[in-house]
Amino acid sequence: MESARNNDVIVVGAGVLGLTTALVLAERGIRVRVWTRDPVEATTSAVAGALWWPYRIEPVARARAWALQSLDVYEELAARPESTGVRMVEGVLGEADLDRAEAWAAARVPGLRASTTEEYAGRGLWARLPLIDMSTHLPWLRERLVKAGGVVEERTVADFADVDAPVVVNCTGLGARSLVPDASVRPVRGQLVVVENPGIRTWLTSTGVDGEMACFFPQPGRLLLGGTAEEDAWSLEPDPAVASAIVRRCAALRPEIAGARVLEHRVGLRPTRDAVRLEGEVLPDGRVLVHNYGHGGAGVTVAWGCAGEAAGLACPAA
């Protein structure tokens, strides 16, 4: 097979994983095109609350390594929040313990500490983490990709055999269920309520004693309220009862949320799998197919780490 430097690499999927993988390839000198069924702004990634922290992703050890690699990039991008959409924001990870599962992050996340009772009534960690405004970040990724020579095309793929390139990268998320096909990819439905921000500057994630999720993320001009994690639920229609429950749970943590005007409802389907599939295979015709999907609720968190690994699989000599 000819070197991919002399041919196109086609990345299928334009969520955060697809765009980031394509960008890494393009900035290594590879000619790359992104084929996407949906506009960048209509992908699942556009719905994300987008706090940097591994959530619903396996295997844990690899996810943490990818997350820390991505953290390096996000900290750099946070110097230009207006253009990149990345800010470093303080908040509380509820039901987290520095001495146990979260010790992996202690050496890398400055100021990670146990939260005080004033900050959170339960056990939690206070942290300053990247919080990404996806309405800004996704267009920024696309623009940087185009500046590096990449191309983004709205084009539906029904079969990888129809993708005419020596190297194909599969970043289709939940679409991999039918396209690969891989029945182990399953949706975990998340619903968010977007409200006017009543002055909240910190984020919070919580799982109360009843096991119900509550989280809020301050983004420019709005506050995102969550959340849900409904396994094997496919509906993209917001459920009014679920929305009311989300607002009620968040208001129990910050009472001023109760009166905030609702701006929008969002639903996204997290592409969850028993383990992220990040590997290459040689197709019968000799072409290379690299899989990079199944990131659950942590696609933004691990995007740059996974992109670097996927790019290395796609073009080892680059």
Return binding residues for FAD. 44-45, 157, 172, 296-301
Q: Which residues contact 172 (CB under 8 A, 6 or more apart)?
A: 12, 13, 18, 157, 179, 293
pLDDT tens digits for the chain (318 residues)?
Answer: 344 444 589 999 999 999 999 999 999 999 999 999 999 999 999 999 999 999 889 999 999 999 999 999 999 999 999 999 999 999 999 998 887 668 889 889 988 999 999 999 999 999 999 999 999 999 999 999 999 999 999 999 999 999 999 999 999 999 999 999 999 999 999 999 999 999 999 999 999 767 789 999 999 999 999 989 999 999 999 999 999 999 999 999 999 999 999 999 999 999 999 999 999 999 999 999 999 999 999 999 999 999 999 999 999 987
| Residue list, annotated binding site for D-dopa | 270, 297
Its pTM surpasses 0.75: yes
Structural domain that includes position 300? 4-314
Positions at the binding site: 44-45, 157, 172, 270, 296-301
CATH number, domain containing residue 50: 3.40.50.720
Q: Give phi and psi for 182, each to the nearest 5.
A: -140, 95
Find where tokens 């109360």 sit: 208
Domain count of the chain? 1
SS3 25: helix
